[in-house]
Amino acid sequence: MNKLFLSSSFVDVAEFLEPFLGEKIKDKTITFIPTASIPEEYKGYVENDRKAFEKLGLIVKELEVSTASRKAVKETIEKNDFIYVSGGNTFYLLQELKKSGADKIIISEIEKGKVYIGASAGSIIMSKNIKYIEKMDDKTKAKDLTDDNALNIVNFYTLPHHTNEPFKNSVEQILNQYKNQIELIPISNTQVIQVEGNKTSIIGNK
């Protein structure tokens, strides 16, 4: 059963993780993939999320898929208890996941029941295609990305940072452009989409 915790900003919804999992997570390991942040000027959110995981008692194992070997990518993702993919540029993230083969390994691990935690870009890539996010993320940062097809784990399209600056205007533009074409689920920084098999729920405050 697929089990996903899809956020805009993990640090803002960290309190909901353990209740969602229904188990103690202290001393468990998490593969921490910060790759999406590489082309971004501001990266503070990555460190904030890392500290939030450590505060929960998780052992953070960083995996930079853009530089790690294919062997390291496979072994790290398969070995650790949970998978986390940070925010940043969604197009660059997808490019590097495909290049490294991490996309297929993540899909396989999710299908086996491993819990996946996403923040912003890390949540968006669970959709079938990421073209809808062009107004939020600069596609030119991913020169080697040949198509926008993503991991296709969920049948909806996460739209993070709803009502939050500096993305408020771009989120509204995306909503207006795509609301009648695809199933968008907008969430604020203090909300999280929880997926368990066929059940999807949103918790937190708008």
List the catalytic residue out of 100, 120, 123, 188: 120
List the one residue out of 195, 206, 205, 190 whose CA is nearest residue 155.
195
List the catalytic residue out of 7, 161, 162, 188: 161
Centroid of chain to Cα 190: 15
Q: Active site includes 161?
A: yes
Torsion sign across C-alpha atoms 79, 100, 157, 59:
positive
Contact 59, 30 (CB under 8 A): yes
Q: How far is CA 186 from CA 54, 111, 114, 160, in A?
A: 28, 25, 25, 6
Helix, strand and coil in the chain, % to nearest 5:
40, 20, 40
Which residues belong to the active site? Answer: 120, 161
